[in-house]
Structure 1
Amino acid sequence: MSHHSRRSFLTVAGASLLSTAGLGVSSEVGTAQSSGDEFTVVEESPTTKTLFSAVTSSEGPVAVGAGGDVVARGANGWSKIVEYGPQARSRPLRGAAVTDDGNGVWFVGGSGVIGEYRVDTDTLTNYSAPKGKTSTWEDVAVVGHAGTDERLYFVNGSGELLVGVRQESGAIRYEEVLKPGGGSTIPGIDFHGRKAGHVASTSQLVAATSDGGMEWNRIGIDFAGGAFYDLASVAADDVNVAGGDGIVYRYDGSRWTPHVIDGDRQAIRGIDRDGGDGLAVGTDGKIYERQSAGEWTRFQTATDAQFNGVASGPNFDVAVGNTGAIAERTVDGDDGDDGILPILGGSATDSLVTTTLDSTTTDSILDGDFEPEFPVAYDPDAVVEVVEGKWVLGES
């Protein structure tokens, strides 16, 4: 699973413009009551098959699941973008990851199936059974930019890790197969750097690497008794593992602490972290939101389906699960104060764009034309007037 900031895809003229757009957070731990924070269950999912994993691409949320289905959230709702999988053989897709630029969605699954869907070109490519490996791939992590410098990490039900590196020719070069999980199934892998990340196995093993997967060091979890389902790697000293009995395990660089975030002690099936923010999902339509290192708020959605995957994003937070269940929450809202400038037309010359994040202000001068349908971060106070429906920005 790959994790991206809510601000990862807010760029203009090649420079990142950080927005203060964010997620409303309930102040109480327990079942959330604020309607502004609630998730809505999608009434007409494009699939009735189980969805196992979700990511946020540059075009919006994407989820993968049984039968080789890949579904995506667009401006007009959810639709199916891949049917039958990359081999056209309906192999189930169990894990997904997205490139750093959000343009390439990689997914893996049964019988060695691997595929990539480029959301910027609507192109599907089949990479299945590399090195003749036909075991079920359980999860994938990717670091780098689509089509240029990806470094890929695939893990399977035999506890194997296969690393692939994109070459200048466009081909993927695969390295020797390793077993960081000691032979047990690895349901989760995540990288916080190009060569630094973590894996979790079904034998209660969590291991870390800092050299791209060549060497792995076991860091836990000796006292854990339940199953592991997923993990999120934020840093060498900031890791979460989603486990059985309603537990999310937290690693701070030296010790593991179990946090029971589900009072019914039902398994936590998926987890996603975005810096200090985090989401997790479980059984009976429950979603959990991280408030602090050891505090999570529970959301009860209007479904009893089991959720398996979750992803946060700049526009939507989504949870996906059994029978094609999808729950989503709008992040930026429609109140006009979310820090995201609506679609602009025409051009901008010498306009001052001011963005604020954690009390740090960045000023960027936009010279000449830019893409008319590109979202631009801004400070609402910088809007001095509206002329013929266009925003005029200046020093405030």
Structure 2
Amino acid sequence: MTTELPTDPDGFGAFFRQYTRSWIHAVATAGLTAFGTLTFINRWFALAAISSYLLPPVVLYARSRRTEGSERPDAERTDTDGDRSGRETAKTERPDPDLEASSTDEMASASSGDAADEPASPSAAGTDEPELGSAADSGDGPDIDEDESGSAGDSPEEGTEPEPQPEPAGWELTEAPTEATLRDAAVAGRKAYATGEGGVVLASDDEWSAVLEDGPGADGNDLHGIDATDDGEAVWVAGESGAIGRIDAETGRHTDHTAPGGRTDNLAGIAVAGPAGEETILAIDGSGGVLRGRYDGTDARWEGPATPGSGSSLSGIVLEGETGYCCDTNDAIFETEDGGGSFEAIGPVGASGTLVAVAIGAEGPFVGSDDGALHCREGKNWTPERVADSLAGLACDGERTVVCTGSEVLERADPGADWEGADPIGAEGLRAVAVGTDRALAVGENGTVVERLAPSE
């Protein structure tokens, strides 16, 4: 809203009477009251109070007088009859509305208290600054550089936040070139392997393909175990009727070692330690026996089997260096410290369910039972931890532990971390898991493979 104030030729009195009826006077009066109230804090607020009340009418009156003076020469007209008697017809016009807006802006600045320290306007200071109203209307005013005004281009540079790092890949269902039930898995560097029904062996670097379709002896016997050498350059598989084979990871070629030592017992699992060409192989059977082999780069020499326990079926075995563990279906677990040359009982575990898998973590051995409990060895005792309603597979890589149920994968980064779950879409009857530095996978019925390519932090 713009309030028009007269350019009064008769003097300040008439001007002030008109001014007291305007909203500007009301604002100035409010400023006087506000600053006056603050004088109990500092007496200098009295100066701000007086200035906020007196400066607006003074500024506006001076402005209106200057406007009148600048417009009068243009308004004068000389009588067409050439009358030079001194009588002139003067035409007085109301102030330009844009000029009034400029005056109002100056008044607001004065009433804020800044006028106590600086001149209220160029007019009040006695300067001859050109009026801004007409320049703004005509569009001929000086161009304003937005960079200089601070509204664009010259703003201070904001601190750049670091780009979010891509999250590790999650667990995903992968298409595998088989519908056979897969019973075990292994990770060898960047490669992953799975084996199972009918002697099928699958391998994946980027895509899954069949390395073997009917077992190392081409007889179609089911395979139940698979493990890789420490350097990932060779993989061993074992299964029914004494089926054992070695696969070269680089070439994919396999060597048949079926019926080791002349034995054709069904083999339930296999564990390998050492680099390729110097492997130690431990295979377990359904009668509680552990068959031990040493590979020299050309052939394997076998001994045993040894029977660590009472003869109950062994359900899991693991070997790292010379240290290994195996568990049976009768709640017993055994330890070897000489690469399978001898075993010592370190159980019973005290599980409510049947032991199904064993692994070596950063803090020692873990054993899992089918009732969903994970048992950790602490001294001579075994401490259970309920992980899920059931448990089918177990694997460790340093502090990371991964387990699977029938349709779910659970993992944790270290023993003190929470378990994180993945419920893969379409997963069916998962049987086993494997984990390495670069990838992890779980396998199961109907060729189901669920994997991820990086640890989930």
2:177: which partner in 1?
A: 46
- Out of 287, 296, 300, which is 1:172 matched to? 300
CA–CA distance in structure 2, aligned partners of residues 297 and 259 of structure 1: 15
The match for 2:292 is: 163
Match of 1:191 in 2: 319
Tell whether the 8 Å contact from 2:333 to 2:349 is kept in structure 1 after alignment.
no
* Counterpart contact for 1:207–1:218, Cα < 8 Å: yes
Return the alpha-carbon distance in structure 2 between the equivalents of residues 303 and 248 of structure 1: 25
Q: Distance in 2 between matches of 1:330 and 1:311?
A: 12
**What CA deviation, in whole Å up to 9, does each residue of 1:241-269 have, x standing for no partner?**
1211111111133221111111xx22x11
The runs of 5 or more residues in structure 1 that have no matched partner are 1-23, 25-33, 339-396
What secondary structure sits across from 1:220 in the alignment? coil
Q: Which amino acid aligns with 1:54?
A: A
The CA distance in 2 between the partners of 1:37 and 1:255, in whole Å, is 37
Q: CA–CA distance in 2 between the matches of 1:329 and 1:127?
A: 32
Structure 1 residues 1-396: aligned runs within 5 Å: 36=168, 38-42=170-174, 44-58=175-189, 60-75=191-206, 77-146=207-276, 148-167=277-296, 170-193=298-321, 195-234=322-361, 238-262=364-388, 265-266=389-390, 268-283=391-406, 285-293=407-415, 295-331=418-454
Cα distance, 1:306 vs structure 2: 1.5
- On the 8 A contact 1:95/1:138 being kept in 2, the answer is yes
**TM-score between the two structures when normalised by the length of structure 1:** 0.70
One-letter amino acid matched to 1:162: L
Q: Secondary structure at the match of 1:197?
A: strand
Q: Secondary structure of 2:227's partner?
A: strand
CA deviation after TM superposition for structure 1 residue 297, in Å: 2.1
Is the 1:249–1:258 Cα contact (8 Å) retained in structure 2? yes
Residues 324, 337 of structure 2: 8 Å contact kept = yes
Q: In the aligned structure 2, how far is the partner of 1:215 from the partner of 1:152?
A: 14
Instruction: Measure, in 1, the Cα distance between the counterparts of 2:355 and 2:337.
Output: 22
- Between 1:294-303 and 1:78-87, the stretch displaced more is 294-303
Q: What is the deviation of 1:154? A: 0.9
Could you tell me how far apart the structure 2 residues matched to 1:119 and 1:166 are?
16
- Normalising by structure 2, what TM-score? 0.61
Cα deviations across residues 209-240 of structure 1 (Å, max 9, x unaligned)? 112223221111342231111110236x6111
CA distance in 2, matches of 1:62, 1:253: 34
C-alpha separation in 2, matches of 1:223 and 1:321:
28
Structure-2 change in CA distance of 1:332 and 1:286 (3 Å): closer
2: distance between equivalents of 1:165 and 1:128?
Answer: 15
Specify every segment of 5 or more residues in structure 2 that has no aligned partner in the other structure, as ranges. Answer: 1-164
Deviations 1:12-36 (A, max 9, x none): xxxxxxxxxxxx9xxxxxxxxx985
SS of the aligned residue for 1:331 comes to coil
CA distance in 2, matches of 1:303, 1:313: 24
**Contact kept in structure 2, 1:315 and 1:330, CA below 8 Å:** yes
- Structure with bigger strand share is 1
Deviation (angstroms), 1:58: 3.8
The alpha-carbon deviation at position 89 of structure 1 amounts to: 1.0
**Residues in 2 aligned to 1:244 and 1:179: alpha-carbon distance in whole angstroms:** 23
Q: Deviations over 1:61-107 (max 9, x none)?
A: 011110100111122x2111110000111111101110011011101
Q: Which amino acid aligns with 1:39?
A: W
Shift of 1:312: 1.7
The structure with more radius of gyration: 2
Provide the rounded CA distance (Å) in 1 between the counterparts of 2:377 and 2:394. Answer: 14
Q: Secondary structure at the match of 1:229?
A: strand
d(CA) in 1 for partners of 2:168 and 2:397? 20
Measured in 2, the distance between the counterparts of 1:209 and 1:173 equals 19
Task: Decide whether aligned partners of structure 1 residues 154 and 173 sit closer, same or farther in structure 2, where only a CA change above 3 A counts.
Answer: same
Equivalent residue letter for 1:279: V
Q: Distance between the aligned counterparts of 2:182 and 2:167, measured in 1? A: 26
Query: Partner amino acid for 1:69?
Result: V
Letter in 2 for 1:172: A
- Alpha-carbon distance, 1:332 to partner: 7.3
Report deviation, 1:181.
3.3
Give percent identity, aligned residues only. 31
Q: Name the amino acid aligned to 1:253.
A: G
Larger CA deviation: 207-216 vs 153-162: 207-216
Secondary structure, aligned partner of 1:175: strand
